[in-house]
Each structure stands twice: as structure tokens, then as C-alpha cells.
Amino acid sequence: MGKEKSHINIVVIGHVDSGKSTTTGHLIYKLGGIDKRVIERFEKEAAEMNKRSFKYAWVLDKLKAERERGITIDIALWKFETTKYYCTVIDAPGHRDVIIMNHPGQIGNGYAPVLDCHTSHIAVKFAELITKIDRRSGKELEKEPKFLKNGDAGMVKMIPTKPMVVETFSAYPPLGRFAVRDMRQTVAVGVIKSVEKKDPTGAKVTKAAAKKK
């Protein structure tokens, strides 16, 4: 029997209009995940809309509104395999807070997955589900929802089990993107909207120390 192929999960996230879908589509094409004739058809259709450079983005952007506006509205997932690997590629919109992609049940307050942010892998607690958001329009659907499930988008307050270095996505994107992992798979992706920072030492600042500052 041949050696079992490894499974690679790839999540592409970034700011709105930063080229996520184009990069993802190009990667899928280069790795043999989509037929050349399909790309040629996308190129022809894109040229008719004066959007020739969008041919790779259209691999994942299938909604009419996405193609007309040139932005990803809904999350997209593509599975393919190479000679060595099984690959799952996820292209996420750049204007959502948290998107639940792959969870068998409902996620509520108290959920405790692992948060991957830059090089950190730290357990976190979903302390509060703040809002549920419409994935297509970005409008608030519900305040303090009881749960989020596959396909839902929302804003969540998360508390790490130990200190970690993060920033808001608007201030510093490399430290403001994250993936939520559980059961050895990516459950959700999102961006950080706000951070509650604490004194790194946890000690009280004396008057003498304050004067030196």
C-alpha cells in the first residue's frame, strides 16, 4: 500500500480587496486543482466585463454580486489533491469578524477551542457572543445570540487562558487575523476588532517608578 497522504488546511484571510481570492484561485490552478479550460472560460467571461485580471478570483467567487463588485461576499471552500497531499483551501471575506465554517454543532458561551494568531497557539474561551451578523450585507441580525452554527458570522468576546500578543486588524493586520481550531480542524476564521490590554507584569506601579517614567 502507498503512503497515506497528509491533509493540509489553508485559510486565506486579509483586508478587503487585498487579492485573497486571486491568490487562492491561482494557487489552486498551479497545483492542478482546476482544469485549464475552466480558467480559460473564466478569462473570457471576465474580459467581457472588463475584469480580465479577475479570472483566478472567479474560481471561488461564484456569486453574481461578487463578480460584479470584485469582492468576496460569502466564504468559499475548495478541496483537491496533489501527488502528496489532500488540500482544503478556504477563502474568507475581509470584512467579517468571526465566521463559523466547520463545526458539527452549535457554538455558545463557554466554548473553549484553540486560537491560532501569527505564531501563537493558545486555548481561549468564548466569553460572550455579542452579535450575529448577516454574512452578505454585514448588518446586525441579533444581539447576544444564544449560539452560532456553521455558516454564521458574528462578533465574539474571547479570553485567552494565558497572555498573548495581538493587535486590532485595523492597527496591524499581521497580528489581527486569527483562526479558531478544534477537533484538529479549522472551525472559524476572523479578525480582531478590539483588544483589552493589561499591564504585562501584573504589578502595581509605585510613585517612584511613575516619576521615573
Residues of the chain with pLDDT under 70: 1-3, 13-17, 52-53, 58, 60-77, 91-102, 135-137, 199-213
The full set of domain ranges for the chain reads 6-91, 98-191
Q: For the whole model, what pTM was predicted?
A: 0.51
Tell me how far apart the alpha carbons of residues 94 and 177 are, in angstroms, rounded to a whole number.
Answer: 10
CATH of the structural domain 98-191, one choice from 3.30.70.1730, 2.40.30.10, 3.40.50.2000, 3.40.605.10: 2.40.30.10
> To the nearest whole number, what is the mean pLDDT of the chain?
75
The pairing of strands 6-12 and 85-91 is: parallel
pLDDT on residue 50? 76
Please indicate whether the domains covering 6-91 and 98-191 agree at the CATH topology level: no
* Domain at 6-91, CATH class: alpha beta
Closest of 34, 63, 15 to residue 191, by C-alpha:
15
